[in-house]
Structure 1
Amino acid sequence: MQVAYAIMFFILVGVSETLRHGVFGLNPADTTTIIYGALAICALLLLKSDLITTIHRPVEPLYGSDRLNWSWRRSMLGVFLMPLLWIVPVAYGFALVQLDIHPIASTTVLETLLTQVLLVAVAEGLFFREAVVKVFGREILPVYLISTLALFIFYLPSGLPMAMIATGSGIYYLTLRLIGTNIWVVAALHGVTLILFGKVLSLGLSQEQFWPYSIYFMIASAALSLLVFMLFAPSPREARYA
């Protein structure tokens, strides 16, 4: 399974780069749809019948380990913990005194929510988080390393600062999953975050400010993730009977 994940990922990266360079003459919207659709398909091929366990909590240890289980009670905890990540960019914006709020129409919110959750957040959640948890979940450290490295490489064509920001947030989403949050709840929170900081709130960063912000965001997100995991990761007994 680990070899299969690696092969799928590198094929996906190669195909994504081919599409982004316009070899087939597709527009950016079609390219994005195909890339994230392929990402979701790869995740489904890896999860197979285990996909049902993302909806119905299994009685037996998930993927052979009690600590990889999730529960609806812990999913609610994940919802309450999500705003901690939002504090990271908001604090930076307040420090620069340039946090802007943009009004957004309800129809735009609904359209963007469907796009960001169904297309981006679900595909990334299933492939970079749930599939990694299944394939590498015997130890927590490899789960973090593989998920982080894969996400970083996936976003690297968008530029190093963007890859660092995506990786920082990805570490936190993975942490929510590892403390017992349902992956679909994590995907919904991911989608809401994309809308909040893509459409509603803006830091108004210049090109010169973007680099230090990306470094700050990645370090702060990683530190926050470590703190959340240390405080809220379920004990083996709790994971078994959650």
Structure 2
Amino acid sequence: MMKMKRIKSIHKAAAWIFQIALFSYFCFQGASAIAEDKGSGHMDRIVGAWTWTSKQSDGELFTSVMDISLEESGSLMGGIRNPEGERIPFESVNLKGDQIQVVVDHEIMGQAFKASYGGKVTGSNIEGEVVIRFQDRILRRGWKARRLLEFPLTGEWDWKLSTPDGNELKATLIIHQDAEGVSGRLESEQFNMPLREISFKAGQLKFVTQREENGGTFYSSGKWHGNLLSGQVSSPSIGEGLKLPWEARKR
């Protein structure tokens, strides 16, 4: 009788231990999954494309685009694309809390250097600094990046053209950009011209406009710098080899 009670007690204890183990297994599995989801959601805040514009020593604006993606393994990866369209993969990328740090190996004219982009992620902005290590020198400068919209050209732009006599011709540049491509028009009180043969590749915008009243055809090209477009216009009607500067700022 005592033996039977002992066996039953052992069975109860075993069943109880098994239930605790089973309960603990599912609880910890659930906690782990929640932690992973939370981590993935945390990383989602940095996933996407980011852009910034800086000024070179010669005064020319230089726009870069950084893309960050989340792999199935849960690790981040990506690269930085320069205005020429060349993509440089990250050497490393780390996100801790609201701090992001990206390290990239650059090479310009055969000279290799390492750049570390680090900053605080706040909504659609990153603000921090770039640390450049070149040979035995370390250079630091402020760095601000903003999240790049999927179709950054869409909207109205205040366009102006500098004429040879020192005046400015002003108009509204209206652009629509989607997965199918880019379209738009240039309009003012004096004209309304659709943008023809329009293309946007590697930060370079090109289009052709034509004034019907005098048959003048104008070829425009410009670089995209976030909320600024700047470039040149050429046309046989304004002189062979003559190029006039233009720019447009997004409203």
TM range (shorter): under 0.3
Of Structure 1 and Structure 2, the greater strand share is in 2
Of Structure 1 and Structure 2, the greater helix share is in 1
> Which of 1 and 2 has greater Rg?
2
Q: TM-score, normalised by structure 2?
A: 0.22
Higher relative contact order (CA 8 A, sep 6+): 1
Q: TM-score, normalised by structure 1?
A: 0.22
